[in-house]
Structure 1
Amino acid sequence: MARIASLQIGFYRVPLPTLLTDSTHGEMRDFELNTVRVRDADGAEGVGYSFTVGRNGAAVDAVLTREIAEIAAGEDADAIERLWHRCWWDLHYGGRGGPTVLALSAFDIALWDLKARRANLPLWRLLGGFDPKVPCYAGGIDLLLPLDELLAQTDANLAKGFRAIKMKVGRKRLDEDVQRVAAMREHLGAELPLMVDANMKWTVDQAIRAARAFQPHDLTWLEEPISPDDLGGHARVVRDGGLPIAAGENLRTLWDFKNLIASEGVTYPEPDVTNCGGVTAFMKIAHLAEAWNLPVTSHGAHDVTVHLLAACPNRSFLEAHGFGLDSYIADPLRIEEGFAIAPEHPGHGITFDWAGLERIRA
């Protein structure tokens, strides 16, 4: 039994190296990072984290500091399912999503990291193992970049080893989106996968119109075309738009994914391990998608998620973008000829520069 001796909570504001833009969040200059370090009575440590887009990190910090630290004290760190359910139900009345689930996600990631470290296994092997080479794409947050800068960014990503690209859509005029997608397809050639992401910008009818306009450009998927809460709308977009749809980064529970999948409103379920309930929930979502014969993708937190998709036979693409974290991590994600490589270090292998993070403590 690995008794939890302490939780050390961190809250940081991470400056972004470049200004990021999308159709919903506008201009993003920094992200907020919440961390939790779980130590057991033997001195072993596991690390988890979640992030927000510039706001609400203080609420996540409060849940970790005031609630989860108390729930976890003295508990068996190996009883991850029991701890997950205790947090879920103890915090249920004010939870079921939002900051509560982001905090639970960070805690759960730390527990799995600790368990894998104690077993001296990389997380992807502890989770069952499938293939450490995971197809990945470079996720650009680039809606307002001029076309020449967008293509230059793409060339830089190709030089880093990426062989698939995602770009933002959702500009004020659809014809501008179509022109940029056409230019990107011509730039990449016919072989490389290209995805587009609207960040919930459109109504259902607008999304169907956009999907039909993008059809000639052979997209792997159209991501988050409408509000995540409109299950019937998603089904209409899948049925009438003529493109595969990726969605789920703004869903917060296994049951949200069950409802979206059952409504036939998604082609590529897309959980984010830092906001769907952690490793525990992510793997259940991935297996749920497998039961529906759907390929699973991911959002954010690629340094953790590469392990999860490396354990999934139905994985498709890992989304890779660092949100500025690479500057605070010892060994950033390794990309080789279009594949992210799950590391063999025990746990998830993320080693934060804690001294560096202290300089940006929120």
Structure 2
Amino acid sequence: MVALSSIQPGFFRIPLPEVLSDSTHGEMTAFELNTVRVRDADGAEGVGYTYTVGRNGGAVNAVLGELSEMMLGEDADAIERLWHKGWWGLHYGGRGGPTVLALSAFDIALWDLKANRAGLPLWKLLGGYDPLVPVYAGGIDLDLSVDALLRQTDGNLGRGFRAIKMKVGRKNLHEDVERVRAMREHLGQDFPLMVDANMKWSVDEAIRAARAFQPFGLTWLEEPTIPDDPAGHARIVREGGVPIAAGENLRSLWEFKLYIAGGGVTYPEPDVTNCGGVTSFMKIAHLSEAFNLPVTSHGAHDVTVHLLAACPNRSFLEAHGFGLDRYIADPLVIREGVAIAPDRPGHGIRFDWDGLAALTS
């Protein structure tokens, strides 16, 4: 037995270098980072984290405190049992929101600890497939002018990206169409281009938008409507004529089952920091594989590169727009369209704890 001797939550509000916006969340000036450091009786450490787009971080921190009380002294190697203990122990007030975000961070920390103890990078501990993972730049750029959008795109190309996602969901559909047209003309016909509506539309509006985007050969249209409508997503898949990515706002394996089995998604898109952690993410990826679907990801690219590197049915890793790179020692390496899963033990993320602590002073 490897007993958990210490569980230490952390909560930090990190200003963004520039104000970001999308069609649903409005302007975002900061994101909130919740961390958890777990140690075992031998002194080995694992680190997990989750984040929000500016609210609820305090609630996540409170739940991490509850998890700490529940899990101290438990066997750190019994990750599946501890996941269920956390899920069911907090179930009545949970099943989503801050509860599952906190459980996700804790689960990531347990997997990091396990991989550190084994002396293996996380992607190899999870079975290993290929450390070179196709990656795209996830732009948060709805309010940029077309010229600024193209300049941002050129910057991403210069950083090694060979796939790009842009935001849609402006007031008038014709504005979205013209922006997508400009991007397609700028990038060329065969360049992987995705668009993200951030749940903006009704089902009928989403079908209309998807049909308008058909001439541009999109890799996918992401989150066309609210996540609470799997049947509506299935209509969009059937009638819209473009592939659909969805899942960043789904919070469990069982929610993904409704989408995948119901034909409501082409590219399942879990976020390891809010779907239940590594334990849940890998189950969702394998469920997708059983339905012959490619899995993608949302956010937390420094962790998720390991998970997709262990999945034969991975498609693209999202490199997220939040500025966490300033507070970690070794940011994600991207070369010619692929992200490289590191060979350091664990997930290899080493936070600048002093720099983060300065944000709270």
TM-score range (shorter-chain normalised) is: over 0.9
Opposite residue 44 of structure 1, the aligned amino acid is A
DSSP-derived class of the 1:240 partner: helix
Separation of aligned partners in 2, 1:150 and 1:322: 14
Contact 1:302 1:322 in 2 (8 A): no
Q: Please, which runs of 5 or more residues in structure 1 have no aligned partner?
A: none
Instruction: Point out 4+ residue stretches in structure 1 off by more than 2 angstroms.
Output: none
Return the offset for 1:322: 4.5
SS at match of 2:42: coil
- What CA distance in whole angstroms lies between the structure 2 residues aligned with 1:305 and 1:95? 24
In the alignment, structure 1 residue 355 sits paired with structure 2 residue 357 = no
What pairs with 1:259-278 in structure 2 (closer than 5 Å)? 259-278=258-277
Q: CA deviation at 1:87?
A: 0.5
Question: Tell me, what secondary structure is at the counterpart of 1:46?
Answer: strand
AA partner of residue 283 (structure 1)? M
- Cα distance in 2 for partners of 1:342, 1:300 equals 15
Structure 1: distance between partners of 2:262 and 2:207: 17
Aligned twin of 1:64: 64
Amino acid at match of 1:298: S
* 1:331 alignment counterpart: 330
Give the percent of matched residue pairs that are identical in Structure 1 and Structure 2.
78
CA RMSD of aligned residues (A): 0.7
2:244 aligns to what?
245
CA contact (8 A) 2:139 2:321 kept: no
Q: TM-score, normalised by structure 1?
A: 0.99
Is 1:39 aligned to 2:39, yes or no?
Answer: yes
Alignment of 1:79-158 (within 5 A): 79-158=78-157
Per-residue CA deviation, residues 130-181 of structure 1 (Å, 9 max, x unaligned), is 0000001000000000111110000000000000000000000000000000
1:192-227, Cα deviation, whole Å (9 max, x unpaired) = 100000000000000000000000001000000000
Name the aligned partner's letter for residue 62 of structure 2: A
Q: Name 1:163's counterpart in structure 2.
A: 162
Q: CA–CA distance in 1 between the matches of 2:104 and 2:321?
A: 18
Whole-Å separation in 2 of the counterparts to 1:103 and 1:327: 23
Unaligned runs of 5+ in 2: none
1:202 aligns with 2:234: no
Q: 1:301·1:322 contact (CA, 8 Å) conserved in 2? A: no
1:23 aligns with 2:13: no
Contact (CA 8 Å) 2:298, 2:320: kept in 1 or not? Answer: no
Q: How many residues align?
A: 361
Cα distance in 2 for partners of 1:92, 1:43 equals 31
CA shift, 1:361, in A, is: 2.8
TM-score, normalization by structure 2: 0.99
* Mapped partners of 2:102, 2:78: distance in 1: 18
Q: Structure 1 residues 348, 322: closer, same or farther in 2, change over 3 A?
A: farther
